[in-house]
Amino acid sequence: MTDHGQCAEKTDEELVTLTLKDRELYACLIRRYEAPLARYVRRISGYSDDDIADILQNAFISAYRNLNGFDPSLKFSSWLYRIVHNETISQHRKRRARPQTVSVEENDNVFELLASEVDVARDADRAMTAMRIRAVLDAMDPKYREVLVLKYLEDKDYREISDILQKPMGTIATLINRAKKQFRNKVEDGPLSTIR
């Protein structure tokens, strides 16, 4: 059994190196990233807790099997998010017929971040705004939704998003700008004005 205090003192990179010598320490990395990755998968996919658990299990197994191939010039978190992202996309392809939703919790800063882009009525209550933003995100193209989720909900910088999606940073900047425009257009055309 691993000591939780011992894990907390180590950086991700130190834990990767130690895990290569003692596989029990991989539990430290799982504990560190399980909740944020579950939240990320929920936000980009809308899957149930059981589906998310399956995705994470497959992703953590894949990450462990490929730990020797981890590039230390990347952030471990970006590398792991990419594996989870790819596993989520793979799961989505298996279920194409099912609708996709995005989870937005009430306490997320996404309300302020995205609402500031579209001048949402200032007197709208927080819960209604969350529902409206969720509807807009659900209606967006997946490639735009995922960059907004990574940027504004997961608080990833351009470099991390580039690493996760395996796209050049210039492409990421373009995708974010286009995503904000699409978000704005969808707000003006529909869901924010029609949902009651």
The listed CATH number (3.30.450.20, 3.40.50.2000, 1.10.1740.10, 3.40.50.300) that belongs to domain 4-94? 1.10.1740.10
**Per-domain boundaries in the chain:** 4-94, 110-194
Instruction: Report the pLDDT value the prediction gives residue 125, as an integer from 0 to 100.
Output: 53
- CATH annotation of 110-194: 1.10.10.10
CA 132 from chain centre, in angstroms, equals 20
The pLDDT of residue 139 is 84
pLDDT at residue 29, rounded to an integer: 95
- Quick one: pLDDT band at residue 155, thresholds 50, 70, 90? confident
- Computed over every residue of the chain, the mean pLDDT equals 81
Instruction: Summarize the confidence of residues 169-183 as an average pLDDT.
Output: 93
pLDDT, tens digit, 9 for 90 and up, residues 57-94? 999 999 999 999 888 778 999 999 999 999 998 888 77
Q: Does residue 174 have a pLDDT over 90?
A: yes
> Has this prediction a pTM greater than 0.75?
no
For residues 147 and 161, is the Cβ–Cβ distance under 8 A?
A: yes
137, pLDDT greater than 60: yes
Helix axes 110-118, 126-139, angle to 10 degrees: 70
Average pLDDT for residues 31-40, to the nearest whole number? 95
Q: Indicate the pLDDT class of residue 120, thresholds 50, 70 and 90.
A: very low
In the 8-state DSSP scheme, what is residue 24?
A: G
Contact 183, 120 (CB under 8 A): no
The CA distances from residue 187 to 63, 152, 153, in Å, are: 38, 17, 18
The confidence band for 191, taking pLDDT boundaries of 50, 70 and 90, is very low
Measured distance CA(169)–CA(185) in Å, rounded: 24
- In this prediction, residues 83-112 reach a mean pLDDT of 68
